[in-house]
């Protein structure tokens, strides 16, 4: 359990900048996720923290103590890898015991601690198997146990669920969160899966081209993104060009769009008359009595809902309708906007 | 479908002929060594083990066999250790240094053995090791090192770098990671390399011919000397013994690791 501070971290490979000034504070016991597409620098940041690569500049402190001079073996972090990285020649028991043996923990204590942690991940009965005799999910649970058993300062997880199928990924999410909470351990998690990031984290850092674009709670980055990139990366999103008509409260505005006027939230202090983008999440829209005037352009049935595309002027937005809704293509619909889920973004294309 | 069948048959036949050419001499030699006749000939006339008795009764053959074994076993041990260290060292080098290092180590393989031998002969005389046992041993190590190095580096290339990182993150230093993770994982490569070393050293001719000590023949040299004056099946018996030793080593490796895992 420890507080981690990353300041001004930079790393370039042969001139190609991988991370370009990452600042991040991970509070003790919290679960923070680095979220972003491949190449955004999230894995590089984690690998700098683990000590596998040396950054060109910046500082990393654990509980205020600089750890840049330490190799990975001295940093006391439990690392979980995307491809599990279990020792193929060692049994499950010996894999988990490895870190304790390196720490010269007495044999009896090793046996007890390994048994305990294997119980936590429900693999006690497989302790004599070799990794290749385990399924992917079981291997990842061994990897998790191996990282936890050393009671490290923090857990670093590099896309640990990326190689698992959808159902297992879902189960493992719960397990990881539960183990992290139970141990009260600080965790830094790397993923490109926004749903995973939001489900697991206390804080999500969305990364863009080697920097953190926005750090916030899952609710914050989903509902109040600071830029279109963040909105795009955190879930399904549609946008309408909007002009602020007037402020109607603190951080609340009446805006004009091609489909009519609506009330929306936004950062405080936006000037009347300025151009913005209105972010509409699909679940923020419902057919209603008053709101945006739109035409149904197309839809498809996915079981739990119908995904629809609506045309408003020359713009298209997406929304979900209940499966039983009967609407023909070309039908005119009025869409009520959930005020709390409509959010104003800077219009990057506007002058 | 038909074209595929014909192609398959042709490939099978080609392989059969290739193997026939490779294995026929071995069969001929082994059968000739069991001949009851007085000259080295095929097909053998009669059956007898007397040529083996004569081989083992011959002091120069006995000494040569012993020396060959000594040199080959020493080469195997030395080369296994040095090649493993070299392979691990190369893994730690950056990409633009690893290439030249590899080329340097494989150099003896790229040059004709006789040239390496002549060069080494001059060099060993310069440093006072000309025609000594140590000089001969050095020559064998130089020639066999690349075989073992190739086999060990290819095993090492199969090892996921994440395993080293995992080991380090669990608190293990370089020594523990090498001993507990790397060496067990490349053991088949080391054993295969040792096997090549033993066989190449045991059969080596040109290098031994130039570097041998006075009167100290290895088995291939003793065989060569013998054939200069005698032409009886003892030579075939000597060759058969040589083949049997090679097979024994292969069988030992099979028993230790299983060849399927070693290759």
Query: How many domains does chain A contain in total?
Result: 2
CA B135 to chain centre: 18
Shared domain check, A113 and A23: yes
Cross-chain residue pair A98–B173, CB shorter than 8 Å: no
Looking at per-residue pLDDT, the higher value among A258 and A347 belongs to A258
Distance CA A285, CA A318 (A): 9
Of A71, A88, A150, the CB nearest to B168: A71
Instruction: Average the pLDDT over A289-307 and give the result.
Output: 85
Question: What CATH number corresponds to the domain at position A340?
Answer: 2.40.50.140
The pLDDT of residue B169? 95
- In eight-state DSSP terms, residue B39 is S
The pLDDT of residue B263? 46
**Helix, strand, or coil (residue B9):** helix
Which residues contact residue B131 at a Cβ distance below 8 angstroms, ignoring those fewer than 6 apart?
A: B124, B211, B212, B213, B214
Shared domain check, A333 and A216: no
Tell how strand A4-13 and strand A65-66 pair up: unpaired
Shared domain check, A166 and A302: no
B187 to chain A, closest Cα gap in Å: 11
Distance CA A343, CA A278 (A): 6
Summarised one tens digit per residue, pLDDT across range A26-40 is 999 999 999 999 889
The pLDDT of residue A214? 93
The pLDDT of residue B261? 54
Shared domain check, A68 and A152: yes
C-alpha distance from residue B254 to each of A88, A328, B245 (Å): 21, 73, 14
User: CA A37, A41, A47, A52 torsion: positive or negative?
Assistant: positive
Distance CA A318, CA A296 (A): 10
> CB B252: neighbour CB atoms within 10 A?
13
The pLDDT of residue A74? 92
CA angle A287, A293, A297 (to 5 degrees): 80
DSSP B164-199: HHHHHHTT--HHHHIIIIIHHHHHHHHHHHHHHHHH
Summarised one tens digit per residue, pLDDT across range B217-237 is 898 998 888 888 888 888 888
Looking at per-residue pLDDT, the higher value among A338 and B215 belongs to A338
B147 to chain A, closest Cα gap in Å: 25
Shared domain check, A109 and A16: yes
**Helix, strand, or coil (residue A207):** strand
Asked whether the beta carbons of B237 and B80 are under 8 A apart, the reply is no
Summarised one tens digit per residue, pLDDT across range B30-85 is 888 888 777 777 777 778 888 888 888 888 889 999 999 999 999 999 999 999 99
Cross-chain residue pair B165–A79, CB shorter than 8 Å: yes
> Phi-psi region for residue A246, left (φ > 0), alpha (ψ -120 to 50) or beta?
beta
Averaged pLDDT of chain A: 89
In a domain, A34, yes or no: yes
Of A81, A150, A156, the CB nearest to B171: A150
Distance CA B161, CA B91 (A): 10
Q: Which residue, among A116, A163, A87, A43, has the nearest Cα to B166 in the 3D structure?
A: A87
The pLDDT of residue A167? 86
Q: Which residue, among A11, A83, A85, has the nearest Cα to A48 in the 3D structure?
A: A11
Q: Has residue A318 got a pLDDT over 60?
A: yes
How does residue A351 score in pLDDT terms, banded at 50, 70 and 90?
very low
Shared domain check, A295 and A243: yes
Q: Has residue B259 got a pLDDT over 80?
A: no
Summarised one tens digit per residue, pLDDT across range A236-274 is 888 988 888 888 888 888 898 888 888 888 888 888 888
The pLDDT of residue A44? 93
C-alpha distance from residue B131 to each of A148, A338, B126, B172, B216 (Å): 61, 95, 11, 46, 9
Instruction: Average the pLDDT over B23-29 and give the result.
Output: 87
In a domain, A351, yes or no: no
Shared domain check, A54 and A143: yes
Summarised one tens digit per residue, pLDDT across range A128-169 is 999 999 998 999 999 999 999 999 999 999 999 988 888 888
Domains, chain B, ordered by start:
59-262 (1.10.3720.10)
pTM (2 d.p.): 0.82
Collect all residues of chain A within an 8 Å Cβ-Cβ radius of residue B173.
73
The pLDDT of residue A322? 82
A contact set with B (CB within 8 A): 50-52, 71-79, 81, 83, 85-89, 98-99, 102-103, 146-147, 150, 156
Facing residues of A312 across strands?
A: A315
| Final residue before a domain boundary, out of A203, A232, A261 | A232
Summarised one tens digit per residue, pLDDT across range A232-243 is 888 888 898 888
C-alpha distance from residue A286 to each of A260, A266, A311, A341, B175 (Å): 15, 21, 15, 12, 64
Tell how strand A285-301 and strand A186-191 pair up: unpaired
Distance CA A196, CA A210 (A): 21
The pLDDT of residue B131? 83
- Order the strands of the A211-216 sheet from edge to edge: A77-80, A154-158, A186-191, A31-35, A203-208, A211-216
C-alpha distance from residue A257 to each of A227, A236, B249 (Å): 19, 20, 84
Which residues contact residue A165 at a Cβ distance below 8 angstroms, ignoring those fewer than 6 apart?
A: A136
Cross-chain residue pair B169–A75, CB shorter than 8 Å: yes
Tell how strand A203-208 and strand A31-35 pair up: parallel
Instruction: Average the pLDDT over B12-40 and give the result.
Output: 86
Summarised one tens digit per residue, pLDDT across range A38-49 is 889 999 999 999
| Final residue before a domain boundary, out of A232, A259, A283 | A232
| Final residue before a domain boundary, out of A179, A198, A232 | A232
The pLDDT of residue B260? 57
The pLDDT of residue A349? 59
In a domain, A32, yes or no: yes
**In terms of residue numbers, what domain contains A31?**
4-232
Instruction: Average the pLDDT over B121-129 and give the result.
Output: 90
In a domain, A305, yes or no: yes
Facing residues of A351 across strands?
A: none
Of A52, A75, A87, the CB nearest to B163: A87
Shared domain check, A214 and A240: no
Shared domain check, A316 and A255: yes
Distance CA B46, CA B32 (A): 10
The pLDDT of residue B1? 67
The pLDDT of residue B262? 47
């Amino acid at each position: 359990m420890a507080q981690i501070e990353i300041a001004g971290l930079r790393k370039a490979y042969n001139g190609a900048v991988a991370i370009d000034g990452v600042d991040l504070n991970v509070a003790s016991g919290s679960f923070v996720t680095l979220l972003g597409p491949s190449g955004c620098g999230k894995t590089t940041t984690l690998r700098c923290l683990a000590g596998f690569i040396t950054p060109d500049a910046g500082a990393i402190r654990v509980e205020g103590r600089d750890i840049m001079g330490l190799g990975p073996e001295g940093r006391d972090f439990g690392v979980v890898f995307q491809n599990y990285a279990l020792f193929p020649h060692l049994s499950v028991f010996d894999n988990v015991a490895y870190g304790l043996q390196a720490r010269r923990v007495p044999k009896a204590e090793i046996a007890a601690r390994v048994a305990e942690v294997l119980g936590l991940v429900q693999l006690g009965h497989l302790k004599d198997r070799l990794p290749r005799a385990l399924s992917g999910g079981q291997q990842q649970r061994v990897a998790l146990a191996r990282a936890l058993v050393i009671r490290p300062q923090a857990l670093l997880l590099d896309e640990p669920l990326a190689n698992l199928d959808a159902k297992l990924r879902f189960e493992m999410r719960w397990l990881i969160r539960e183990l992290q909470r139970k141990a009260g351990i600080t965790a830094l998690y790397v993923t490109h899966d926004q749903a995973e990031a939001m489900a697991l984290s206390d804080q999500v850092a969305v990364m863009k081209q080697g920097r953190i674009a926005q750090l916030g709670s899952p609710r914050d980055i989903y509902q109040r993104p600071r830029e279109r990139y963040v909105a795009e990366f955190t879930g399904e999103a549609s946008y309408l060009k909007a002009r602020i008509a007037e402020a109607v409260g603190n951080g609340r505005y009446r805006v004009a769009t091609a489909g009519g006027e609506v009330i929306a939230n936004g950062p405080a202090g936006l000037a009347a008359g300025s151009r913005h983008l209105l972010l509409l999440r699909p679940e923020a829209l419902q057919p209603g009595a008053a709101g945006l005037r739109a035409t149904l352009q197309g839809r498809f049935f996915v079981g739990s809902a119908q995904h629809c595309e609506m045309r408003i002027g020359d713009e298209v937005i997406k929304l979900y309708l209940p499966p039983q809704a009967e609407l023909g293509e070309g039908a005119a619909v009025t869409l009520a906007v959930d005020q709390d889920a409509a959010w104003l973004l800077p219009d990057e294309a506007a002058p | 479908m038909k074209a595929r069948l014909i192609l398959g048959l042709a490939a099978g036949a080609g392989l059969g002929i290739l193997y026939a050419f490779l294995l026929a001499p071995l069969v001929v030699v082994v059968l000739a060594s069991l001949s009851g006749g007085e000259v080295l000939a095929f097909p053998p006339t009669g059956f007898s083990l007397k040529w083996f008795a004569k081989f083992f009764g011959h002091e120069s053959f006995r000494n040569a066999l012993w020396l060959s074994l000594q040199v080959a076993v020493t080469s195997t041990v030395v080369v296994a250790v040095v090649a493993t260290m070299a392979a691990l060292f190369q893994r730690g080098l950056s990409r633009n240094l690893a290439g030249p290092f590899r080329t340097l180590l494989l150099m003896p393989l790229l040059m004709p053995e006789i040239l390496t031998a002549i060069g080494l002969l001059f060099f060993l005389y310069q440093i006072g090791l000309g025609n000594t046992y140590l000089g001969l041993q050095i020559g064998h190590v130089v020639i066999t090192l690349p075989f073992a190095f190739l086999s060990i580096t290819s095993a090492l290339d199969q090892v996921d770098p994440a395993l080293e990182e995992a080991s380090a993150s669990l608190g293990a230093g370089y020594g523990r990671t090498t001993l507990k993770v790397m060496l067990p994982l490349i053991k088949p490569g080391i054993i295969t390399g040792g096997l090549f070393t033993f066989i190449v050293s045991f059969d080596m001719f040109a290098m031994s011919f130039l570097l041998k000590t006075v009167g100290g023949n290895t088995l291939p040299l003793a065989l060569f000397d013998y054939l200069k004056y005698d032409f009886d099946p003892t030579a075939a018996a000597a060759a058969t013994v040589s083949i049997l030793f090679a097979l024994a080593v292969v069988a030992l490796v099979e028993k230790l690791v299983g060849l399927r895992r070693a290759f």
